[in-house]
Structure 1
Amino acid sequence: MSTVGYGDVELRTTLGRLFVIIFIFIGLGLFANFVPEVVHIIINRKRFDGSFTGVSGKTHVVVCGHITLSSASAFMKDFLHEDRGEVDVKVLFLGNFRPNQELEAFFLRWFLKVTFYQGSVMQRRDMERVKMHKAGACLIICDRFTSDQHKEDAANLMR
């Protein structure tokens, strides 16, 4: 009714034409509201699910375990400290969660050196995605502030 058709149906009354005009504007408004949400869902779903494509001659390390903003910041500060000289290593964080906005902003700040992948080191597919077999190192970050150190150690040993 609101599309350009073959002309076999035409509105003759003013009320009918007014209804179609309002119907078109409401439809366009609803469509305009839903498009950004759908795009956001599609982008977020694929954002952390990709695979690492390494550059030949460049090393990468995989960091997993207790990844938080403070632990990731401390790791990067220590890993890229000036005493180590120029470090040309790609850091891949692998976590079985979606990063919150603060952690995502941290990863974006370091986007040339850091990439986050959603997954688990217990899954073969995820280890292949981050090219674990070609990594220069696999580092496991522990929760230093845990109340149950034995449980944390057991979880890290499984990783």
Structure 2
Amino acid sequence: MILYTENPIGSTKILFSLISEFGRMVGYKVNIKKLKAFLYTSNELLERETRNKNPFTITRRKIKYLEINLTKVVRDLYLGNYRTLKKKIKQDTNKRKHILCSWIGRINIIKMSILLKAIYRLNAICIKISVTYFTDLEQIFQKFTWT
């Protein structure tokens, strides 16, 4: 669950009561120690007070949520997600290039295992990506398909 709040100190008691009530109704136990949060403030006193009064972890850089690296600074979303995606795609294609299969089989490997990851990231993170990124992916796919 992703939640944005303007008053983190005052709203945490209400939030935890709602989470525990939801967990009681559904039958889940929510581990409050695993909760993570970003704190967007320039006030050092408020930041220290929030860190001391809340039982959850306040991270400084990134949170991994459903295989997406959420970063505190928007410009780091590309580095944290799309650059690593390209690396993973290269690793997957290098790992599978020795599989003996037909041309159609290689296309199906790309469709069923590699493109799903890329499409998920593209839908989950709506940021502007350069055309060169997509041409690089296309070259990786072509190299895998034709070798």
Give the TM-score of the pair, scaled to structure 1: 0.30
Higher strand share: 1
Greater relative CO (CA pairs within 8 A, separation 6+): 1
Higher helix share: 2
Give the TM-score of the pair, scaled to structure 2: 0.31
Rg larger for: 1
